Amino acid sequence: MKPHSLINYNRNHGFSMVETAKQLTYFLADKRLYLAVVFCLLSVGCTQNKEFPEPGTTKAIPHRIAPVITKCGSVLDEASLINKGWNILFEDNFGKGGILLPPGAPNPTLDETKWTYWTSGAYNNELQYYQPANLTLGNSDVAGNLDLMITAKEEHIEDGAISPYAGPTEVGDFEYTSGRIESIQTFRGSDYNKVRIYARIKLPTAYGLWPAFWTLGVDGPNEQWPQNGEIDIMESKVDVLGNVPTEYQTNYFYGTSPGNNLVSGAEFEVGVADLTSCYHIFMVEWREEELKYYFDELLIDTKTYDPDPLSSGHYIPELWDKEQRIVLSLAYGGDFLGNNFVPGAIAAGTGTMYVDWVKVFVK
């Protein structure tokens, strides 16, 4: 996802424990190159008020994808996290009560003390008009669990704002609608030693959809993306008719001037047997010198600081000071779908992204 404008914060770096990942093993399977990651976690020293060189442009690396993972329906062990010293900073369980709504009963509404809606078009050549009506809370299974349901559908919108910051004459017509929310609460990595950002999500199956769970820097004057950074925890897509999503991508963005992204080759794709019929937990652990991405509590990708400015897809630690907010979005079309995407009708009942909960833990 690429946003618009962000605000810059400059503070002294704190300190954190850093773990290193070792032993990269490559192997071939089904004529496809997979990256098998074998991690040996080693404790290393702490340094306070680290001085990092000015960030340079990272170097692109070949397409990377992890082996296919088959785990399904994970549940977060919060008690274990708390016992290990993690504290919850933010959460929304979207009205969980374990009680089925009676027929005809109105659905609960989104907690607007925690989230703001987008009501406009977006960026990246996306085709949808975001509106609050496409985000609802309701029962997604017979167990009575309430979830946030973000639904994309064919719907004509005339003279809709082309972006949240469009002027009164910057309008257009749209043939698709969907939903996007952003957390009101924000957080900066440097205020803590570690930050973990979680969501439990079931993805949609419709062709042309772009579901995403990510963070975005706080808006401010005279600053534009990617100066305050972006962390993509999960982005997926269906860009081939008849397919369902079996992969998702992690990524991040950062730059020191408007429109100048210094990160290249940080994408990492994860192959999963099933992303659409059951829930999975997507998480990033944000540290001063690295981003560690987890899928159903399994470490699948680490982006680590490297003093060599041309190292492959390395982490730029200046992001650590940039205040972030959480974003849940379901776009239709756009640059992420690629050149082969052809806009078409969204099949009824398949254009919904289900979010069980969102949580942020800090330590």
For residue range 80-122, what is the model confidence (pLDDT) as tens digits? 999 999 999 999 999 765 556 666 766 778 999 999 999 999 9
For 3-9, what is the mean pLDDT?
36
Tokens representing 297? Answer: 């509590």
Report pLDDT digits (tens) over 132-154. 999 999 876 655 678 999 999 99
Site of tokens 């397919």: 243
Report pLDDT digits (tens) over 34-83. 333 333 333 333 334 455 455 555 544 444 556 666 677 788 999 999 99
Whole-angstrom distance, CA of residue 190 vs CA of residue 341: 40
Specify the DSSP class assigned to residue 120: B
Specify the DSSP class assigned to residue 320: G
Report pLDDT digits (tens) over 299-351. 999 999 887 755 556 789 999 999 999 999 999 999 998 877 787 767 765 69
- The percent of residues in the chain predicted with pLDDT above 90, rounded, is 52
Among 23-27, 98-102, 275-279, the range of highest mean pLDDT:
275-279
The mean predicted confidence, pLDDT, of the chain is: 80
pLDDT at res. 44: 37
CA distance readout (Å), 67 to 35, 210, 213, 279: 7, 22, 22, 19
Short-list 266, 316, 284, CA closest to 54: 316
pTM for the predicted model, two decimal places: 0.81
Query: Are the beta carbons of 176 and 153 closer than 8 angstroms?
Result: yes
What are the residue ranges spanned by the domains of the chain?
19-48+59-362
The dotted CATH code for 19-48+59-362 is: 2.60.120.200
Q: Name beta bridge partners: 250.
A: 268
CA distance readout (Å), 363 to 85, 163, 286: 6, 36, 11
Whole-angstrom distance, CA of residue 274 vs CA of residue 247: 9
pLDDT at res. 62: 42
Report pLDDT digits (tens) over 228-265. 999 999 999 987 777 788 899 999 999 988 888 988 88
Site of tokens 């907690």: 111
Query: Are the beta carbons of 126 and 118 closer than 8 angstroms?
Result: no
Whole-angstrom distance, CA of residue 68 vs CA of residue 293: 16
pLDDT surpassing 60 at residue 125? yes
Query: Are the beta carbons of 321 and 234 closer than 8 angstroms?
Result: no
